[in-house]
Amino acid sequence: MKPLLCLTLIWTFCLVMLGAYVRLSDAGLGCPDWPGCYGQLGAPDEAHEIAQASAQFGGDVEPAKGWKEMIHRYFAGGLGLLVLAACCLLWQKRQRLSRLSILLPLGVIIFQALLGMWTVTMKLMPIIVTAHLLGGMALLALLTWLAARSSFTPQLPSHLRPILIISLIAIVLQIALGGWVSTNYAALACNGFPSCQGSFAAPAGLSEAMQPIRQLGQTSNGESLTIHHLAAIHWLHRLGALLLLACLSALIWQLRKTSPRWAGLIAAALLLQISLGIANVWLDLPLPLAVAHNGGAAILLMLVVAALAQVLPVHQQATNNAFNTTSPKHSGA
């Protein structure tokens, strides 16, 4: 069971990274249909296939982008089989796992497939693409939880649960804001750091830019988004980064005595993610760093979820405290 869970978790992480690469390399519409690509199992790359695809679907046919999208879909299909196998095995040997937590990954996989289809059919509508990103992160978090709960004995004190939950919420919100930046192509809208367009105040148009139901590059009224709208989206993401920094700093501070190892891991991941975010702004969003920034968010999410899975239940913490108080070793007998 442990090797299968480990493989499924690594596969999911790689798929999240691959999805980021497809999105950031502007290949999200490399195939204008779903689940195939121009009506076939692979992207058309022969001259006659390209001519036929262009005649049938219209527009320019770009085989390189099509193959990126199809490889992503094949990886997603393989992950579906792995998750099904892992959930079936966990169902038979469930320990400290609820039935709902075992079934949830399968539900997320199905919904992710629908979001993948809508991403294409709705022409990269930002709310759909952002939801697709969040679905991948949710699947990664669920599998991390299952792997941690089924493989390791809880050992962190129960008083850490509130700050861990707050930190997890902050990470999810920041991932959502990061996804909104990426899906609206606003990563380079703020030309400078730490200020945005020479100011620390919110750029104009924030409320319009955050409207969820609108097409790519447009406001909800159908007008074109301006650079100020995009800068407002990026500015909000930076504000979220400050909130996340405060939450994770508080978590690291509380972890430093009870579990220095967890504190060190989360601190290292946080430092890496901050460095990647700043480097992306200063270096004009090079593709490897942009993809790595998505990976850094996934690592932070996995670490906090795994730490939360290691928190002792309240009743078990009370039992341990009572044992430590009355045992001869601690009573001086």
Catalytic residues: 69
User: Which tokens belong to 106?
Assistant: 């399968």
DSSP 327: S
Q: Which residues is 156 bridged to in the sheet? A: 311
SS3 of residue 30 by DSSP? coil
Cβ-proximal residues to 312 (8 Å cutoff; 6+ apart), any chain: 154, 155, 156, 157, 158, 320
Q: Work out whether the CA dihedral 126, 70, 74, 178 comes out positive or negative.
A: negative
> Residue 129 and residue 212: Cα distance in Å, rounded?
11
Give the Cβ contact number of residue 34 at 10 Å.
15
Cβ atoms of 85 and 3 within 8 Å: the answer is no
Nearest to 8 by CA among 106, 79, 92, 107: 79
Q: Work out whether the CA dihedral 211, 111, 8, 262 comes out positive or negative.
A: positive
Side chain identity at 209, as an amino acid letter?
A
Helix (H) or strand (E) holding 90: helix 63-92
DSSP 92-131: HT-SS--HHHHHHHHHHHHHHHHHHHHHHHTTS-HHHHHH
